[in-house]
Structure 1
């Protein structure tokens, strides 16, 4: 670990300070900031307030009140690098001799223009303002009570959920747009910050956990740093994960390059070949060992090779034998993906496009599509997601009220990725605790609205859903 040290009064934390701190952080791996004590500073703002503002800077790893000269601290602690403002470069700097004695470096910089907005950029990811609107007509049509919906959410803590599917790591690279290249018509950007999120089937498991359930998660990852990121993230949530390492593939990584709140480019690092027979056997053995304690099985398929026909058929057979609720989503990134390979599910949540691809039908209306999918896959309930238009619900054909729709409940949309995962998770859990199709579809739509109101896949807490129902 390369430690970097910066010290100063930091009387009022301004963009110049933030640029300096960002430069210091980029120069090493661990940034330590010494805030001059009131005795040393002699400024009007108290040391506690100045320290608090430094601690709030996202690039600072450690901050403390410095009540001795910086040279004494450097001599005692021996940081690898000391960073000072550019204005000190032509002055006498006693730090140089101290650093030279043990091989440390002294760097001068005022940071780079544009980097001072780092903390504002991060607020884009930290903002949890949901801006959810309800559908009073749907609620009235199905005689739903908000108190009943809250009771359903509270029952989630009684569930034991098994999630199986493709793990994805989502990485957002926030950039500064520098303009157009002079050599060719290419947009030039400079990366400012990176934010990672657990995605794919792993976020489905995470949603289920933060909504209150006990969760087991089965997936395949590569032998790389992203495997450790996923493992640590799931462990922090208290999820029991069974991650099989496959040396023939990386942990799937999806990078989004963004500038000015817009996505410029997405780069996917993945392999889509089917897992080996050995991995199939290991997965089925794990499911066999766990099945007796499971109330709900969720298949989260991104067509990246984990959910083979052998795995799907064997787990589905076990689930039916034990009378376990099962749900599935099979996302189609291009022309691959087939929701009809999941037979006999309680719930499936495809997009309209995914149904059309599976059925090779690009002309029929939505209700006819649902009927065809129901007959081919024997799914009990179908929620067709329609993006900004919300979802269409296709009920059990034996029921008198066959179809209905819920308009999209999110009034502020920042990032649509993850909306389907949150709908699948929350609706499936609601059905598993006894909610009817209308209640479960509404709770799933609320979860999706919460998800799209923020950037990145952040696990939805049950308190957030309850808050929207108050």
Structure 2
């Protein structure tokens, strides 16, 4: 299912938020109350709500414009700076009468301790609605899909205004996708599709759904017909997704995730990926499957983080080859995406370790090296020689396994956080780009033989040599296999 989103142009309208994370450590309980004392160390900020939908689209290399409301406060400045940094067209309206919606999460030891919400929930004033209407009319002239991201903060509260936007899209044959909120779906009537989770569908259906799939499908079909929708995509967590359409049988899509860290923002990823795929002409069923793969990747991340184009491309490649490795997809990356991830890790105070190699025929010696490297820091990035690089270094008979297979096996290891391929003979350029805190090689090297030593030490990093497990090498394993094959062939010929 190869797909490129560079031609996608999406307009996102909805409740925009700033997600703020205060990272710290807990070492004691407060003497004032039985609560943990978090020693704050650093703060990071990212786009939330409809902003996260736009962020996901931008990370997929789509052109994206964002319409919403913020305050006229310092937090709004932070929000707008993030939009600029992510190359999202800023069409926000400033409302001095309300604060910028902010969700502050207190994090310790990779766990959320507390969330603080600064918001004002009420419908928009007429002047703000008029500004949104003008921005929407302008954005509609070039976009290929519209996403209405409703978080119940007020931007999409007025039924007549939401209906006005949906009808404008329908008159131009522009698909309009809705991420819903609450029980009142009258304002979504006539949209192309809606993406509720199971709890949201239960709310609008008015009763708990049956545990069997037939009950879910029946409720989804009735809801789709009631509100004049072309389709309804129900996200079901660990059970995957259910797609009901007017023109064909329901489609049940199994979940791809096997390791769940945080479901924050997964719904944003689903609707963003779905909109991107539909806007470039992908059939609805395929678009839903792609969105399902994207969701399976982001729930393996901590905090609100988008799906990256490189992550999705890798997952789709393995799926096309019927070799999808669910543990690996979020770990395989190109250099720009790796640089962004490492920046997020550093912002959370984590030390990044780097090692590199061919890793052709992964063996216990490799695994020992990788686990020892990981123990020296908080995150391990592995630089992996591409197939072309290995052929130049080791001859036409190598590699034994393709770079995709080698990357997938490395990514399946718990000690590996990121795998980045490089096509040069040495990883020097990759090291310069990623700037790890610690560079690791095996003890068969001397410090002055380690490629990248000078680079890492120039910015205060260090080089560490770790002991190797004796008796393992890919070359010797390959020779052993060849000798055994020759021995058996000779025995067969003798018979």
TM (normalized to structure 2)? 0.60
Q: Distance in 2 between matches of 1:344 and 1:196?
A: 36
- Specify the SS of the correspondent of 1:453: coil
Partner of 2:180: 330
Using the TM superposition, give the Cα deviation of residue 363 of structure 1 relative to its aligned residue in structure 2, in angstroms.
4.5
Partner of 2:397: none
TM (normalized to structure 1)? 0.63
Q: Which runs of structure 2 are paired with 1:305-454 in the superposition (5 Å)? A: 305-307=154-156, 308-331=158-181, 336=182, 338-364=184-210, 365-394=215-244, 396-399=245-248, 401-407=249-255, 409-454=256-301
- Specify the SS of the correspondent of 1:293: coil
Partner of 2:133: 284
Preserved contact between residue 9 and residue 279 of structure 2 (Cα < 8 Å): no
Partner of 1:163: 12
Partner of 1:190: 39
**For residues 33-68 of structure 1, what are the alpha-carbon distances to aligned partners after superposition, in whole Å with 9 as ceiling and x for unaligned?**
xxxxxxxxxxxxxxxxxxxxxxxxxxxxxxxxxxxx
- Specify the SS of the correspondent of 1:157: coil
Preserved contact between residue 290 and residue 316 of structure 2 (Cα < 8 Å): no
- Specify the SS of the correspondent of 1:254: strand
Q: Using a 3 Å threshold, how does the CA distance of structure 1 residues 440 and 350 change in structure 2: closer, same or farther?
A: same
Q: Distance in 1 between matches of 2:126 and 2:21?
A: 34
Partner of 1:118: none
**For residues 180-223 of structure 1, what are the alpha-carbon distances to aligned partners after superposition, in whole Å with 9 as ceiling and x for unaligned?**
33443333322222221111111211221221222111110011
Preserved contact between residue 11 and residue 147 of structure 2 (Cα < 8 Å): yes
- Specify the SS of the correspondent of 1:443: helix
Q: Distance in 2 between matches of 1:397 and 1:423?
A: 21
Q: Which runs of structure 2 are paired with 1:242-253 in the superposition (5 Å)? A: 242-253=91-102
- Higher mean alpha-carbon deviation, 420-429 vs 190-199, is at 190-199
Q: Distance in 1 between matches of 2:175 and 2:313?
A: 24
Preserved contact between residue 240 and residue 252 of structure 2 (Cα < 8 Å): no
- Specify the SS of the correspondent of 2:260: coil
Q: Distance in 2 between matches of 1:306 and 1:465?
A: 31
- Number of aligned residue pairs: give it: 312
Preserved contact between residue 340 and residue 358 of structure 1 (Cα < 8 Å): no
Partner of 1:296: 145
Following superposition, which runs of at least 4 residues in structure 1 exceed 4 angstroms of deviation? none
Q: Which runs of structure 2 are paired with 1:114-263 in the superposition (5 Å)? A: 149-150=1-2, 153-154=3-4, 156-263=5-112
Q: Which runs of 5+ in 2 are unaligned?
A: 318-495
